[in-house]
Amino acid sequence: MDQPQEMLLEAGPAPAAQPSESAALEHNNRGARLHLAGEIEAAIVEYQAALQIDPNYATALNNLGFLLSQRGQWAEAVNLLESALRADPRRSMAWTNLGNARLALGDVAAALEAHERAAHSDPNNVVAWDNLGRLLLSLNRPAAAELAFRSALAAAPTQVDLIVRLGTALAVQQRSNEALACFNRALELDPRHAAAWGQLGAVLFMRQDLGSAAEALVRALQFNPRDVTARRHLALVYLARGKNDEAAAAFEENLAINPNATADRIDLAILWLAKGRLADAARGLAEALTAEPENTRAEFHLGLAWLQMGEVAAGQTILDKIACGPHPKYAGMARQILQQQPNL
């Protein structure tokens, strides 16, 4: 699920109209122009010049904090953004930037609090509501995320990304009809929107409308060939339709893009096992277990692969462990297979 990523840069008035403060404004706005042009070191000089004139200039503090966040200097960014908010606690932009910096540092609770403050400080701040919704969705709070996305759409009703994210929140709540309406609305506004096609295909797959799901997912990949989520859903559609060769090819394409896609590696290995490619299956399952040592599904099929390869002791050891384990489905299947083995 997407996590918040948007950040905000400000150009704006100095706190008052004194000559020194006008100079601070000029330095900040010059820094903002340089920042947007990608001249980062020069922008830092200008922001720092503004802060030398007025150390409590919230706009410059926010902008420099934003810039350091972009460079991955998260702790320094947090200090600057907190200083901006001490100077002016109502700054929605600074709250949003602070939320993203806190999230990057792994402080989810503080990030959520900051994003909530950002949204409620300025109900028309679309990015603030969007960031809040995306964080809530990643925390498996889809109902709260839905409210955040609806608040964002109240200010920007035709923003396609927001419509897609609202549809995703609805789909997670099993409200598939409403979700489909969102994705279709997004595609009316932008027929080439890859994420809308991908999410549409995923919901159609959940509804077992496999033909329409495949068409939507193929369209998603036409517009974004590196969308591994859409390709995984397409592979699962192929599996459900008995098109195992097409499914295997899709899993292989995903692994070429993302070798860490453990679920795809396991599914591909199971397909190889069914096709009698035992050594390939065992290797793939062993690699998956290196990444996820407690994955019972991978362990079970690795045990089967060893048995079929004639490595009976190794296969039985794995299945014995699963038979005594906490997963009823695989424990039962493991016991059944062990009972069928000779000399046990």
Confidence of residue 8 (pLDDT cuts 50, 70, 90): low
Q: Distance between terminal CA atoms of the chain?
A: 46
The answer to whether residue 176 scores a pLDDT higher than 50 is yes
The 10s digit of each residue's pLDDT in 239-257 is 999 999 999 999 999 999 9
Which amino acid appears at position 270 of this protein?
Answer: I
The fraction of the chain above a pLDDT of 70, given in percent, is: 93
pLDDT score at 296 = 96
pLDDT score at 43 = 94
At 2 the three-state DSSP class reads coil
Rounded CA separation 239/7 (Å): 40
- Give residues with Cβ within 8 angstroms of 144, minimum separation 6: 136
Rounded CA separation 26/16 (Å): 13
With CA atoms as reference, report the closest residue to 271 among 299, 291, 251: 251
The 10s digit of each residue's pLDDT in 65-74 is 999 999 999 9
Asked whether the beta carbons of 187 and 196 are under 8 A apart, the reply is yes
Task: Give the position of tokens 């390869």.
Answer: 309
Quick one: which H or E segment has residue 51? Answer: helix 40-53
Between the alpha carbon of residue 36 and those of residues 13, 41, 55, 330, the distances in Å are 18, 12, 23, 55
Task: Give the position of tokens 């200097």.
Answer: 73
The answer to whether residue 147 scores a pLDDT higher than 50 is yes
pLDDT score at 9 = 54
The 10s digit of each residue's pLDDT in 90-130 is 999 999 999 999 999 999 999 999 999 999 999 999 999 99
Class of domain 1-117: mainly alpha
Q: How high is the mean pLDDT of the chain?
A: 92
pLDDT score at 120 = 94
